[in-house]
Amino acid sequence: MSTSTTAPGRAGASGAHRDPSPVRLPEPQAPVMPQAKTPIGAGRITLLGIVMALLTGALGVIGIHDGLASGEVIGGRSWIESTINAFDGLKPQWWAVPAGVAAVLLGLWMLIVAVRRRPRTAVALRSQTGVYLRPADVRKLAARAANDVDGVTAARVSTSRRAARITVVVTGDDGRIGQDVQDAVTERLSALESAPRLKIKTRTGVAP
């Protein structure tokens, strides 16, 4: 009588199976921060809007006065009627042409101011979430980078969105400090999406 045995840990041919490997589910991604809007200034349109609001308010006051005057609620003549009567019978004058040209130019200027893009007040960094630096912050970064250069005792920086003017006081100019300052500032501002143009000026002396 013969018997057959199966080795432990090994199943027969008919019932052979393997333990399934654990399934890795994709990790949930964090929501992407929405990109910030570009900081922009008020521009001249704000001043123009204030002036137009004052003029509109003045016209409203004139209309209310004339309405009350025509209803005999208050005494006095209509301001609009008085203005029209003042111009009634007016003959052509030499100043009418330049005044008309000036009015047309003023209207065109107001139209341009109304539709033009408002100025940006910050410089964008290279990021996907919209990070910006003010020109004052760019000025501080450039000044610190310039002050870290060997031989520089002081640095004065004036910046705008497109350019930076750097004046450094050095102990002795060997012709390389200016280039070293430009390299250091360029590296420090490399994170900007649009780096400003640099203009370096060296001056030998003692820092104030």
Q: What is the pLDDT of residues 10-46, one digit of tens each?
A: 444 444 555 555 556 555 555 555 666 776 777 777 8
Report how far residue 18's alpha carbon sits from residue 92's, in angstroms, rounded to the nearest whole number. 106
pLDDT for position 5: 44
Report how far residue 196's alpha carbon sits from residue 160's, in angstroms, rounded to the nearest whole number. 8
The band of 87, judged by pLDDT with boundaries at 50, 70 and 90, is: confident
Q: What DSSP string describes the chain?
A: -------TT---STT---PPPPPPPPPPPPPPPPPPPPPB---HHHHHHHHHHHHHHHHHHHHHHHHHHHTTSS-S--HHHHHHHHHTTPPP-TTHHHHHHHHHHHHHHHHHHHHSPPPB-SEEBS-SS--EE-HHHHHHHHHHHHHTSTTEEEEEEEE-SSEEEEEEEES---SSHHHHHHHHHHHHTTTBSSPPEEEEEEEES---
pLDDT for position 22: 58
Of residues 149 and 92, more confidently modeled: 149
The region of weakest confidence among 100-109, 165-174, 183-192 is 165-174
Report how far residue 147's alpha carbon sits from residue 192's, in angstroms, rounded to the nearest whole number. 20
Report how far residue 127's alpha carbon sits from residue 183's, in angstroms, rounded to the nearest whole number. 23
- Predicted TM-score (pTM) of this structure: 0.52
Segment 125-142 mean pLDDT: 80
Per the document, the length of the chain is: 208
- Mean pLDDT value across the chain: 77
Q: Are 142 and 181 in contact (CB under 8 A)?
A: no
Share of the chain above pLDDT 70, in %: 77
The band of 75, judged by pLDDT with boundaries at 50, 70 and 90, is: confident
Residue 73 in tokens? 């609620």
Of residues 172 and 105, more confidently modeled: 105
Report how far residue 142's alpha carbon sits from residue 155's, in angstroms, rounded to the nearest whole number. 9
Of residues 83 and 1, more confidently modeled: 83
pLDDT for position 35: 61
Residue 90 in tokens? 């007016």
